[in-house]
């Protein structure tokens, strides 16, 4: 599998991958926002391709205090081949080099497979509640 950084032209195929993976398309997932995210986080917005088809994604943001992981997804027919763990390990290493000491992410409550994935690669559930607000 080829792993490279996101290009804005990937955005439609990425959103299709996320939709097929049960990832809700949310604020931040339009072309402009994805391009901004990639520009702010060089080397931390990765896509995986097989035979030119976009089959995986993993994004990390570094805000100077925490690393945040987003949209780790692998197309359904290519799962359980170690693709996600490979992408996450790459991002962890790049965050570590930037000085990041702790990585956070959000898992939706109904994502049992995702919970098993994260637990198997060393992520622990926190006793915290996520709050959010959409800025108009």
Binding site for ligand COA (CB under 6 A): 21-23, 72-74, 79-85, 105, 107, 111, 113-114, 116-117, 120
The rounded distance, in Å, linking the Cα atoms of 45 and 63 is: 14
The rounded distance, in Å, linking the Cα atoms of 50 and 15 is: 17
Q: Please count the other Cβ atoms lying within 10 Å of the Cβ belonging to residue 108.
A: 10
The rounded distance, in Å, linking the Cα atoms of 27 and 103 is: 21
Cβ atoms of 71 and 18 within 8 Å: the answer is yes
Which one, 11 or 59, has the nearer CB to ligand COA?
59
Q: Output the smallest distance, CB 117 to ligand COA, in A.
A: 4
Q: Output the smallest distance, CB 136 to ligand COA, in A.
A: 27
Which one, 68 or 117, has the nearer CB to ligand COA?
117
Which one, 16 or 39, has the nearer CB to ligand COA?
16
């Amino acid at each position: 599998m080829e792993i490279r950084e996101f290009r804005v032209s990937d955005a439609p195929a990425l959103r299709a991958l996320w939709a097929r993976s049960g990832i809700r398309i949310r604020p931040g997932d339009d072309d402009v926002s994805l391009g901004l995210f990639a520009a702010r986080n060089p080397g931390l917005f990765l896509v995986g391709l097989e035979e030119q088809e976009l089959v995986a994604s993993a994004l990390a943001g570094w805000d100077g205090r925490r690393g945040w992981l987003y949209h780790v997804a692998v197309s359904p027919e290519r799962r359980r081949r170690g693709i996600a763990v490979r992408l996450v390990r790459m991002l962890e290493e790049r965050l570590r080099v930037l000085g990041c000491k702790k990585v956070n992410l959000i898992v939706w409550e109904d994502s049992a497979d995702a919970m098993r994935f994260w637990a198997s690669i060393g992520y622990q559930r926190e006793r915290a509640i996520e709050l959010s607000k959409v800025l108009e």
